[in-house]
Chains A and B, each alone.
Chain A
């Protein structure tokens, strides 16, 4: 693959990678704050907190296990 074709390939992929990185950073921050709050308040997660986390996991697992080209995008 020549340099131009390689750059075109990267330009196709980079926005997806960068968006994933930004989303992961925000998610890490959000989850750390939640766990810190639980520790500070010495309490268990609420039913709503469990439901939200489990729903997010279900959404992500659906994307991970989706066949190629069938809606796995959007990470």
Chain B
């Protein structure tokens, strides 16, 4: 039982480390100063969250009853759908930022991209790591 508790503590520490890393990338980065660097920073934060998503995807599928850590297929599908939405929004923002088009449209796309990254990052930070759904 002691070993089980120690390992659970290790997993909790890992999860906190991931969360801190994601939070650091999302909120503690220096303020970007150009539209391109803003989108680049958003994409870097998204890529960081993607790494967490891939780690979750690579867990063994949950059995019945689930033994954590494991991958829940319904949750994974939510992550994949959120990723598709975030990637499309970020690519549109990158295109607008790099092509130097209309400022208003570009700024709207950048705002949308930052929101999409924030939503995706929050989803990854709260992936289930213990017996709760």
Contacts and interface: CB of A to CB of B under 8 A. Distances in A.
Majority-rule SS of B interface residues: helix
A6 to B, nearest CB: 6
Q: DSSP majority for the A interface?
A: helix
A63 B31 contact: no
B112 interface: no
Nearest to A68: B61
A57 B43 contact: yes
Given A14-B10, A35-B37, A39-B33, A28 B24 contact: yes
Interface string B36-56: 110011011111101111110
A36 B30 contact: yes
Query: A interface, how many residues as a size bin?
Result: 35 or more
Contacts of B47: 27, 31, 53, 56-57, 60
Contacts of B33: 38-39, 42
17 contacts: A3-B1, A9-B67, A13-B60, A16-B58, A17-B55, A17-B59, A20-B54, A25-B17, A28-B22, A35-B30, A42-B34, A44-B34, A53-B40, A57-B50, A61-B83, A63-B57, A64-B54
